[in-house]
Structure 1
Amino acid sequence: MKMNWVGVMPAVTTKFTKDDQLDLDMFSTNINAQVDAGVHAIILGGTLGEASTLTQDEKRILVQHTVDLVEDKVPVVINIAEQTTKDAIIAAEQAEKYGAKGIMVLPPMRYKSTDYETVAYFKAVAQNTSLPMMIYNNPVDYKIEVTLDMFEELVQYDTIQAVKDSARDITNVTRMRNRFGDRLKILCGVDTLAMESMLMGADGWVAGLVCAFPRETVAIYELVKAGRIKEATAIYRWFMPLLELDISPQLVQNIKLAEVATGMGTEYVRLPRMPLQGKERERVEAIIEEGMRTRPDIPDLVRAKANV
């Protein structure tokens, strides 16, 4: 299956059992719900996937299990977030070996590389894989910005095809379109700016709350694409208090709590993360409960697409 970098792409959570093992049964329940809702790809091993806590063997298991599970209905993408260029190249090679159709690549981790070093890092990965790449630009959380001038060098590589933009600046969509036209696919990486970004020309949405609410997330994308902005806006306004759970240091715990509410996950996280407690837990639970109580109907157009 070709990687098109268009549409809704869940950055899925990793499911654990109470004794801290991979919970492939609940993981499968969630992936099947995503595919049934009409998502366009599955992204494994991102921040929401608690990738920094996973062993290499666990990553292999998750990729191979997901590839087998989706049966080529949607492409599987693996996130690459490594400390060294050597390890990033190895991770890209393993992703291809395990059946992934694309990779999402962050700048070097735990080292604030210069622009020159960052570009060299991405180039090295691009030169050592045939998989299509999406560059993850998140200067807010990872303190390294991939600027337009840096992308000017990177677009020389055919394998570099997309950007997940989490700069929290919607004007980036217009700036990138003005500079590169349609050379790069642009996907919004911030849940609370997704609809605005798509209205400005973004090609899709790497989503977080989709892990608990796939039908609603896909509905917003499909309605915007169909020009049914009023209907999309109504769902988006309902969704916003939930989407704000994604822009928090505890986004993993928040979203896993939402997955529990929709029957699509468990609350188990891997240490040092711990489930929410006290007043913050009460606040998040109240948001989720209100969202569940007022959950909107999905228009027929979107239901029909999901069933194709």
Structure 2
Amino acid sequence: MNPQIVYLDGEFMPMNEARVSPMDRGFLFGDGVYEVIPVYQRQVFEWAAHLARLKYSLKATSINNPLSDEAWLDMINQLIKRHDWADQFIYLQVSRGVQIPRDHMPAADLTPTVYAYTNPLKPVADHILQHGIKVISLEDIRWLRCDIKALTLLPNVMAKLQAQAAGVDDVILVRADGSVSEGSASNLFMVKDQTLITPPNSHKILPGITRLVIEKLARRHHIDLIERDIQQDELNSADELWLTSSTKEALPITQLNGQAVGSGKPGSVWQTLRQHYQAYKNEILNPN
């Protein structure tokens, strides 16, 4: 088996040879941002939207964008070519760079550290598509800039651990005011009376690319869609709930806090949108 190849600061190398300084601010402070980008049939999916979000995160954190738009895409395509998987997902990370000595205040002349690698993108398991996932609701203890795709993911990790301890697949995070934000690494959709409802983009949630695609498809196929705050007590009477992300697309939630969501099976609106999503992927990847 050929070694897995990664990109680090302008060079491609085997993963086990990649080295980052222990004085990198990404390591010491979580001072950096990242992106996760799906690749289908060896083609980057929704690249323009992912690049726009990466640039937004860099600007919001005052980290210099280390590459041109063309260089970003060239690097990603070279990673794809170096691996045999038809479907992959790219992880790329930009930290503010190495600073000696350690200081909360970033120096003005730092060179960002750029790291990227790819892994096989596996399809969602059949049993999830047939039976959905189980989740619990938890207090959202994250910071107030969840619109930035930042490296500082400890609260998300803690939420995943709580889900595991509860014997469920994931969580829905709820702010102190009772408004629902998102999952541990995903956006949330609720269906009520055939209407698709999702929290509006704000500092409380990440502007998800899969969320964006689903909204586009809902409008294209005349499915009612509303962006508004969702209160926790509304979840108990929802007909359907979904979590969406770039690597999982849309997952149907069939149990929340031990109680069935809707019929307790993946719902009809989710099934319809899933079909539209697969057709959209084929349309984008095979335009002729």
What is the TM-score normalised by the length of structure 1? 0.25
Higher helix share: 1
Higher strand share: 2
What is the TM-score normalised by the length of structure 2? 0.27
Work out which of the two has the higher radius of gyration on C-alpha atoms and give 1 or 2.
Answer: 2
